[in-house]
Amino acid sequence: MAERIDRRAALALGGLGVGALASAPLWAQAMVDLGLSDGTGQRPLSDAFPGKKGMVLQRSRAPLLETPMAAFDGALGDDPFTPNDRFYVRWHYADIPLSVDAAAFRLRIGGAVKRATALSLTDIQAMPRVEVAAVNQCSGNSRGLFAPRVPGAQWGNGAMGNARWTGVRLRDLLDRAGVAPGVVQVKLSGLDQAPGEAPHFAKSLALDHARTDEVIVAYGMNGAALPLLNGFPLRLIVPGYYSTYWIKALDSIELLTAPDTGYWMEKAYRIPATADAGVQPGAKDFATVPIGRMPPRAFFTRTTPQQARGIALGGDAGVAKVEVSVDGGQSWKAAQLGPDHGPYSFRRWAMPLAGLPRGSHEIAVRTVNTRGAGQKATPIWNPGGYMRSSIETARVVVA
C-alpha cells in the first residue's frame, strides 16, 4: 500500500531544517504575475521547500506557498488531481513540525469521552479505510484580487488544490473513545505551536457534522503519505468546506459539551452574515458567522485562440455544468466536461474558440453546481478577503 506510513517514511520526510526554509536568491528564480488588484502580483517560483517544486513564494516563515495556475492545467481526460509536490501550503505560525516520529506519534481523543484514547498510526491504519476526492481551498483564496485591497496573504487563485484523500472516518475514531452525553462540538488541533501567549490553532465542528460519512482523518494524499508541509502524518478532510477546518498534523481531538469559544472560532475566519458574504467596502459592525461551505467556482488554466480550458469546483456539491461566454456575458455556451470524480473534486472543462474574429477578446467562464448555485459577475467584498467566487475572465488575442 503506497500510503503505508512506516518509520522510514517519516525519516525521509523529516529533513525539513529551518535552513531549508530560506528561499534561493530572487535573481535565480523564475517569476510569475498573479494579476493582483493593485498590480503588485509579481512573485518568484521557489524550489526551496522540501517535497515542493515550482511554488509561488508568498512567505517563507510560516510558509505560504501558492500553486501556479499552470500546474492545474491539463487535457480534458487528464486526472484533475494536484500533484503533492505542487500542492499549496499555508501555516499560521512559524513553529511547525519539522519532523515527526511516525512510530512514537499518537492521536489523542479526550474531553467528554467515555475512555480517553491514544491511537498510533498502526492502530489507525488497521481501521476501515475510506477515500474521498476533494478540493482543499483556503478561505482567503484570491484575496489579492479584492478591490479595495484587504490585509492578509495576498493570494492569487492558487491557494487551492485537489487530491484523493485516504484515511478513516472521524466518526469511527470518535466511537473508539465513545462520545459522552451532552457533546455538541469536536475540537481539532495539530502539532504546530503558537508563539508566547498567542492562541493555539484549533477549529471545531458541530458533532452532527463531525459524524457524517464524509469527514475523514487522512493519512494518504494521492496515493502517498501526506507531505510534511501538508500535515504529515494525519490531517482532517472536510469535503465541501473551506480548509481552515482541515487541521494538519492532527494530534488532538477534544469533545466539547459547550461551543468552542477560542480565538480561531469566535474571532477569526468569520464572514458577514449576509446572503453572499459581502458587505459594502469599508463596512464595520455587521453581524458575522463562522465561514463554512464553499460556493462553486470555475477557473482558466490555459487560453489560446483555438481553445480555452480549465477546472471547476462545485463547492459543497458536484459541478453540473460549465459555460463560456465570448461576448461579455450576453450569451453562454456549455463547455465539455472531463470525467466526474465525485461532488467535491475539481472537474476539467474545455471550450473550442476557433472562429473568433481578429482582435482582443475577453472570455468568461462560470459554473453551476448540482444544487443550482451559480456565480455572479460582480465580486463581493468583505474585510477578511474571504469567499471570492465571482466569474473569472481571461483575455485572448487573435492575430
Ligand X SMILES: Nc1nc2c(c(=O)[nH]1)N[C@H]1C(S)=C(S)[C@@H](COP(=O)(O)O)O[C@H]1N2
Alpha helical stretches, state H, 64-222: 121-125, 170-177, 207-210
Q: How far is CA 28 from CA 23, 25, 46, 56, 89, in A?
A: 10, 6, 10, 14, 22
For ligand X, which stretch binds (CB under 6 A), given 53-61, 124-132, 246-254, 358-366?
246-254
10: CB partners within 8 A, 6+ apart = 99, 100, 101, 102, 103, 232, 233
The 55-59 sheet, strands edge to edge:
31-33, 42-46, 55-59, 64-66, 89-90
Q: How many residues bind Mo ion (CB under 5 A)?
A: 2
Task: Note whether 299 binds ligand X by CB under 6 A.
Answer: no
CB closer to ligand X, 229 vs 350: 229
The rounded distance, in Å, linking the Cα atoms of 249 and 99 is 11
Quick one: how far is CA 353 from the chain centroid?
A: 31
Q: Is 138 in the site for Mo ion (CB under 5 A)?
A: yes
CA distance 207 to 257: 10
**In angstroms, rounded to a whole number, what is the distance separating the alpha carbons of residues 283 and 206?**
29
**Which DSSP symbol is given to 264?**
H
For ligand X, the closer of residues 89 and 319 by Cβ is: 89
**Shortest Cβ distance from residue 194 to ligand X (Å)?**
10
Q: Which does 248 bind (CB under 5 to 8 A by kind): ligand X, Mo ion, none?
A: ligand X
By CB under 6 A, name the one of 142, 166, 230, 325 that touches ligand X: 230
Of 74, 190, 315, 385, which one interacts with ligand X (CB under 6 A)?
Answer: 190
142 binds ligand X (CB under 6 A): no
Single residue of 81, 91, 165, 219 touching ligand X by CB under 6 A: 91
The nearer residue to ligand X, 73 or 95, going by C-beta atoms, is 95
Candidates 18-26, 149-157, 166-174, 243-251 — which segment interacts with ligand X by CB under 6 A?
243-251
- Give 367's contacts (C-beta < 8 A, 6+ positions apart): 296, 297, 298, 312, 313, 314, 319, 320, 321, 322, 323, 349, 374, 375
> Judged by CB under 6 A, does residue 201 bind ligand X?
yes
Which residue's CB is nearer to ligand X, number 243 or number 301?
Answer: 243
CA gap 328, 57 in Å, rounded: 33
Shortest Cβ 384–ligand X spacing (Å): 12
Nearer to ligand X, 138 or 279 (CB): 138
- Which residue among 71, 121, 249, 312 contacts ligand X (CB under 6 A)? 249
Q: Which does 246 bind (CB under 5 to 8 A by kind): ligand X, Mo ion, none?
A: ligand X
- Counting contacts by CB under 6 A, is residue 243 touching ligand X? yes
Neighbouring C-beta atoms of residue 139, cutoff 10 Å: 25
For binding to Mo ion (CB under 5 A), which residues are involved? 138-139
For binding to ligand X (CB under 6 A), which residues are involved? 87-92, 136, 138, 190, 192, 201, 230-231, 243-244, 246-249
